[in-house]
Structures are given as C-alpha cells and as structure tokens.
Chains A and B, each alone.
Chain A
C-alpha cells in the first residue's frame, strides 16, 4: 500500500533530520519538499501517529515534579505567563530531542527557566549562578 510506504519514508526522514553540526547551515537551500515537510512536522501533536501497543503504567510522583507543577501554575496565577504560551509553545514545541528525550516535568521546569530569562525577570548569569549555588548547597559533604 503506497500510503503506508510513503508514511514510513516520511517517518524515517523525520528521524534522520538531525543536522550535521560541522556543516554550514544558513545557505542550505537544498531542502526539498519531503525534507521541508519533515522539518515542519510537530513532534508533540501526536494524535493519529502510529505506535505499537504498550503497557499502561502509573508513576509515583517525584517531589520535584509536584514542585515544578506548582511553580509553573503559580507563575501563571501571578500573571508571569499564561497557559497558551505554555501549552502551545514552551512545554511542548521543543523539537524531537527535547520533547522525547527529557521527562514530562523536565520540559515544564526548563520552559519556566527559559521564560524567566526571555522576559528579563532574571538574567542568564543569575540563573547559572543560582544553579551552581543550589548544586554546591546540596553536594554531599
């Protein structure tokens, strides 16, 4: 069935489009129709995509996961961002590597950190310093 073969080819292309980091990219006009379509594929809008049957699991929540949920919500409560920004972009539209590579709430906390920097609530230097300070505070003595 050609529809199935076309889909398979499209999926293989999507899986293979990690650009070569050592190649100059800005003049890559050799992006043909199929490649363009693969680049435009939204990783997170998954309804209808193929997958094999799996096991439906529960997961005990990590403390940092609950804290992350609450931090993101409270930032919304106090008007620092809204759920459109979060749902449509910040938490989900991250490209395949981040979307499938890091945990659900990892995407959330990363989105919050990026947003605080993007909106100039904190500077990147401040974030980096804070992360280093938190790490050293919790390092095993």
Chain B
C-alpha cells in the first residue's frame, strides 16, 4: 500500500486524495478515542452526538437559495433580511438557535446579508480559518478552506474570481468580506435578466452555493457549481 504524504502543501489543487486504506488511520483512531473518552467521562452523551450529527446532515445551501429567491420576489421580505437576517431566516424555516438552543458553538447567531447591485459585487472568505454561515449554506466546500483561496482573495479578488470563471467588468466594484467568529456573511446576488415571471422555486434553482459565496453569478440554465471532486477513503455513511 502506498501512502502519499506531502508536507507543507496547503495549496488548492495540489493535495492528494485520501489513500484507499483498509487499515484504520491514525486520525480515525484519535477521533474514536476522543469521542469515547468524552462520553465515558460524561462530558457529553452519545445522544448529544447523535442529535448534533442529525442537525449537521440536515443543513445545506438549499436554505440560502430559498432565502435569495424569496428576497428577489418579495421586497418587504428583502427589507427584513437586510434589517435582521437571523430573524428573517425563521420565515424560511431556518432557526439559527438550532440545534442547541443557542446556535452551534461556532456559528454565532449573527448573519449579515450582503446585497449586490449592478455596480457592486460581494464575495466572502475567512482569512484566519474557514468561518462560514453553516445554518444557511451547510458545510463549507474544500476550496473555501484552502490557504490558497484565503491568501489571495483579499489581495487579488478580481483575478481569483476570474479563475472561478467569473470575469467582472472593471466598473464593477468588488468588496471582500472577511468572515469571523462573531459574524457570518452571505451574498444576495442581483436577480438576473430573463427570469421575469419565474416562480420562487424556479428562481431558487439558479441560486447555487457559489452564488451565495460570491464566486459565481446566477443566470438561467446555471443550476450547479462544477468543481473537481476528491473522493473520500471512507465517506460519511448516510
């Protein structure tokens, strides 16, 4: 069995897929050991772990898509989103207080929605780690966590967006928001032309995760974010 190790390689696109292993890895061992010890010592219960896992598997970008589509159709809702996004999320069935009653321990209940205009484009990053609005968009994509994206976006946003296939004209100002522990951001893109009279459901289909991070723009016919996918050795069992 070959084991690929590449110390110091934190850049996007240069990582190696998890090796196909039959034996349990050291990280898997440590994960089991820590979880079992914490439960044995009464720090949390197996039921706590199960409940949180259920929540983690229930979140995803579909909630954000619904929020954007509703905001496009209903100006009063959009105003409420801009006023207090966490409160407005309840109207689309997302309660930031889940699953603990005070939110997740890392996603403080503070969301700001960044409204794009024809001359202003927003994009989000976390330069210190990988802060991301999980209750609304689910788990962050791998590329969002890479040092490469985090290093370069704040200094060369126009170039990085072009690498994602999003070439913005020079007259469009780009504003990068650096997410942090206490405040999470999400982009509300401009409703594209050619979507007049569309239903909310149909609009939501073109609001993909990348559009809400700000590395893509919604348009009719674009319903998925396409990136290379690295396979897991032992993927999450659903």
- Residues of chain A whose beta carbon lies under 8 Å from any beta carbon of chain B: 44-71, 73-78, 80, 82-84, 86-87, 91-92, 96-97, 99-106, 109-110, 112-113, 116, 121-122, 126-127, 130-131, 133-135, 138-140
- The 8 lowest CB-CB distance pairs between A and B, nearest first, are A76-B105, A55-B13, A47-B127, A54-B12, A59-B142, A56-B143, A54-B13, A60-B232
Is the pair B49, A71 in contact by a Cβ cutoff of 8 Å? yes
Q: A46-B147, A135-B29 are in contact. Are A62 and B37 (CB under 8 A)?
A: no
- Residues of chain B whose beta carbon lies under 8 Å from any beta carbon of chain A: 7-15, 18, 22-25, 27-38, 41, 43-44, 48-49, 52-53, 56-57, 100, 104-106, 108, 125, 127-131, 139, 141-143, 145-152, 154-155, 159-160, 163-164, 178, 181, 215, 227-237
Is the pair B48, A74 in contact by a Cβ cutoff of 8 Å? yes
Contact of A68 among B31, B128, B229, B233 (CB under 8 A): B31
Is the pair B49, A62 in contact by a Cβ cutoff of 8 Å? no
Is the pair A57, B229 in contact by a Cβ cutoff of 8 Å? yes
Is the pair B148, A48 in contact by a Cβ cutoff of 8 Å? no
Shortest distance in angstroms between A58's beta carbon and chain B's nearest beta carbon? 5
Is the pair B27, A116 in contact by a Cβ cutoff of 8 Å? no
Is the pair B148, A51 in contact by a Cβ cutoff of 8 Å? yes
Is the pair B142, A58 in contact by a Cβ cutoff of 8 Å? yes
Contact of A58 among B143, B215, B233 (CB under 8 A): B143
